[in-house]
A and B are shown apart, each in its own frame.
Chain A
């Protein structure tokens, strides 16, 4: 069983302890608390150098120290503190950095509220468990045979058909009924080839609808999108060796994943403020009455400094947009400001938590919005951002790649 060490402050008093344990148990993992004695707490936080006032945070530091010093030997670490606590936010970040700099144990951080439920933690716990237990799958570098990858996202459903290490068909439709949308996307992918459902060797599913699709189609691989997207991104960008960072600004949440030799070793997943999501850009394009595919080129022509939309909230962001347009602001400036706002907020909420390793590979549907890619590069001091071919189908490509070698459908016939 995968042992996930809980390094936290406030989980019991927030009533979320049970939710964390429930999320871990769902993926065959067990939450453990690194055991330490009282003297070790003083010794640890003095050695660590951060003199937090809260003794729970001192305890948290000592638990991190116990992991780094090998007194406790977990397979993965889940670091969690109360949302809004400034002192905890500081300690959470430093403890994460400390564990990452001194061990190779995968770490996930999270700031919770009393409303945090196990469902919101599933993807993080699954990704932690995956990086520990399924390294052999994640090590796959080449796609073989004929495989189908299905990615049911919050906004769109994607399908990719791959054969002998090449994408031969793609499909894309908006997500409505999970299974029907997957069938539509898959039909589109098959339509570009002479193959049919019966010809595939294996099916891999990912995204929010992965379990429903996996059950319906009898998938050989059902996998959360953090590890799948990371794998798909380094594969398409030809960065399977060495380090890279994958950024996926999604319709509902954002993922930042650092990868080493194709295996994710750290990730953060946002989802508290919709103003920092692809959904905000979707709403912006509707309000500007331009197709989402035209939002990027329009943004490139504008200057974000002429329109400030940098609210953390999607409703207030749109309110800013409305007042800017009402005051005579240009569509191009508003489009640029919307892209800049999303990139800035993704940076503030997530990217600054991660030690960005170049190259940065941007994927997901939003990577096709050129203005957003440019804004991300600007926000990060002008670094090169790679947008690989098929970046909008990243999850489906990753699923098709990872499931290859697992499917035996043709042999069974």
Chain B
């Protein structure tokens, strides 16, 4: 089974599709959940503190805005863990969203350059395109399963 980074990294639909195939989707919700459960931290709503953007320096330089670095401190470790990735372009807010487009550009770039299998898709605009998209995701998930099985 493979750890798959998804983009948008908080898409419940993508996460569900991959879990059904037995893979582990790397999603933002799990990272944020850890933050919220930590009793030492008290900075709602996401419990990020001013130390988190500093951790984000690993992924983005000091001249990058703090919001981007804060996001990268959460998303970056997911990218580090990723063994494959599915990137959906042009998704609306309801499909998943991390808000900052600069963060999105950097995260997608890092995933593309990681040297892992990457499936890139456009968000569907009608039912037929939706079937095609789901099929492509399933095929991609199956191929990863076969490869990991071969190893």
Could you tell me which A residues sit within 8 Å of B by CB distance? 9-18, 38, 41, 52-59, 81-85, 87-88, 112-115
Contact = CB atoms under 8 A, between A and B. Distances in A.
A334 B66 CA distance: 37
Contact of A12 (B46, B51, B92): B46
> What's the interface size class on B, roughly?
20 to 34
A10 to B, nearest CB: 2
B99 A15 contact: no
A55 B101 contact: yes
Nearest to A42: B92
Interface in B44-99: 44-46, 48-54, 63-71, 74, 92-94, 97, 99
A82 B70 CA distance: 11
Contacts of B54: 114
Closest 6 CB pairs of A and B: A10-B67, A56-B99, A13-B70, A82-B65, A53-B101, A54-B101
B129 interface: no
Contacts of B70: 10, 12-15, 114
B21 interface: no
B52 A85 contact: no
B45 A12 contact: yes
A13 B71 contact: yes
Contacts of B101: 52-55, 57, 87
Given A82-B67, A83-B65, 18 more contacts: A9-B100, A13-B46, A13-B48, A13-B53, A13-B67, A13-B70, A14-B50, A15-B50, A15-B70, A18-B44, A54-B104, A56-B99, A59-B99, A82-B66, A82-B68, A113-B66, A114-B53, A114-B54
A48 to B, nearest CB: 16
B122 to A, nearest CB: 16
Nearest to A16: B50
B65 A12 contact: no
B92 to A, nearest CB: 8
Nearest to A52: B101
A52 B99 CA distance: 11
A173 to B, nearest CB: 37
A83 B45 contact: no
B50 A38 contact: no
Contacts of B49: 15
B97 A9 contact: no
A15 B65 contact: no
A12 B100 contact: no
Given A84-B64, A113-B66, A15 B100 contact: no
Contacts of B93: 38, 41, 55, 58-59
B43 interface: yes
Interface string B120-141: 0000000000000000000000
B71 to A, nearest CB: 5
B33 interface: no
A55 B97 contact: yes
A88 B103 CA distance: 13
A87 B46 CA distance: 23
Interface in B26-40: none
A268 B51 CA distance: 28
Given A14-B48, A15-B43, A56-B100, A9 B94 contact: no
Contacts of B51: 15
12 contacts: A12-B70, A13-B53, A13-B70, A15-B50, A16-B50, A54-B99, A55-B99, A81-B67, A83-B66, A84-B63, A114-B50, A114-B52
A17 B45 CA distance: 8
B93 to A, nearest CB: 5
B146 interface: no
Nearest to A85: B65
Contacts of B71: 13
A87 B102 contact: yes
Contacts of B43: 15, 17-18
A10 B100 contact: yes
A15 B53 contact: yes
- Max chain A Cβ within 10 angstroms of own Cβ: one of B54, B71, B101, B104: B101
Nearest to A10: B67
A14 B66 contact: yes
Given A15-B48, A15-B50, A9 B66 contact: no
A64 to B, nearest CB: 16
A115 B50 contact: yes
B42 A9 contact: no
Contacts of B50: 14-16, 114-115
Contacts of A52: 101
- Max chain B Cβ within 10 angstroms of own Cβ: one of A12, A41, A113: A12
A54 B71 CA distance: 13
A409 to B, nearest CB: 43
Contacts of A54: 99-102, 104
Contacts of A56: 99-100
Contacts of A53: 101
Nearest to B53: A114
A12 B28 CA distance: 14
